[in-house]
Each structure stands twice: as structure tokens, then as C-alpha cells.
Amino acid sequence: MKLVILDRDGVINEDSDAYIKTPGEWRALPGSLDAIARLSRAGWRVVVATNQSGLARGLFTMDTLNAIHSKMRRELAEAGGHIDAIFICSHGPDDGCRCRKPAAGLFEDIARRYEVSLANVPAVGDSLRDLQAAVSQGCAPWLVRTGKGLGTLERGGLPPGTQVRDDLAAIVDEWLT
């Protein structure tokens, strides 16, 4: 099974320091939906692992988050692709949970759900915490320059072996050639 783990905000859709709080605020990054569709058509399982502390902060409800994800799935289906599963951390940064990236809980849940080792499974993010969670489970880290990616790259300290590309489309171009 070919599996890829993607962060959501900054990788698939535009990010916002004020959080994505409504379906209307969710806007796909150029080329991201087509990239996921190409992975789907090539037989890859696409999984999203995303921190959504806006839930804990009271900025939106689970119903609203489900509506945001329904919009993402609908637009992706129109592009010919699909996401197999979305794993979320609904906790705030001070909640001490085991699932909020950079903790490994979301990745552990993915490994259990799919009954696979995540060794060398590519994981794409735009922040250091995305990459730290990924490498803690043996994933191959990929950083995009979209979202917070440029700032992450400028601050340095990336895990060894991190591959850096402009965006998700550039990564998928490389994987599928």
C-alpha cells in the first residue's frame, strides 16, 4: 500500500493566523487538489493529520469543522481525487494531549488504523512540528514552502533528511515521475 500523510492548513489549503473557522474561509492552494487527485488515481492512500486547536479555543464547532472538511472533500472529488481519512487533534497547545503535533499520537493512530509501520511513509507539512511528529514515527519528512513553510525553512533545525519543495504539486510531480 502506498500511503502519504499530509498536514491540512498550509499544505492543502491557505493557512491563516486567525484560523480557518468557516467553510467560506477554506480555500485550496493552487495545484493541491489536482496533486491529491493524481495520487488517488495512482493508487495512493491519502491521509490528513491536522491540529485543529480552534475547537478547544471555541473558534468553531465540530459541526463547522465537519462542514469545512466536507467542502474540501467535495472540491477534491470534483478534481477526481479523495482523502481516505482525516485525523484531527482538537486540543489546545496547553492541554498536554498526546495527539497535538509535534507529539506522535495522530501518527500512531494512523499506523494502528492501517495496520502498517510508518517507516519511510512520506509526510508533508509546512511547520517544524509537522515534521517532528512525522520523523518520530519513522516517516520521510517533506516540507513545502507554502503556508508557514518559508518561515520554517528560514528558522532551520529541520529533521535530517527533510526534502524541501515549493508546494504539494511539485512533490507529487517528483513522486509520480
Active-site positions read 7, 9
CA distance 101 to 95: 12
CA distance 18 to 14: 12
What are 148's three cell numbers? 508557514
Amino acid at 137: Q
Q: What's the distance, CA 40 to chain centroid? A: 15
141 three-class SS: strand
- Lay out the sheet containing 44-51: strands in order across: 85-89, 44-51, 2-6, 122-125, 140-144, 163-165
Residue 89 phi, psi dihedral angles, 5° rounding: -110, 120
Q: Which residue has the cell 495520487?
A: 39
Residue 40 phi, psi dihedral angles, 5° rounding: -60, -45
Find residue 9's DSSP bridge partners: 13
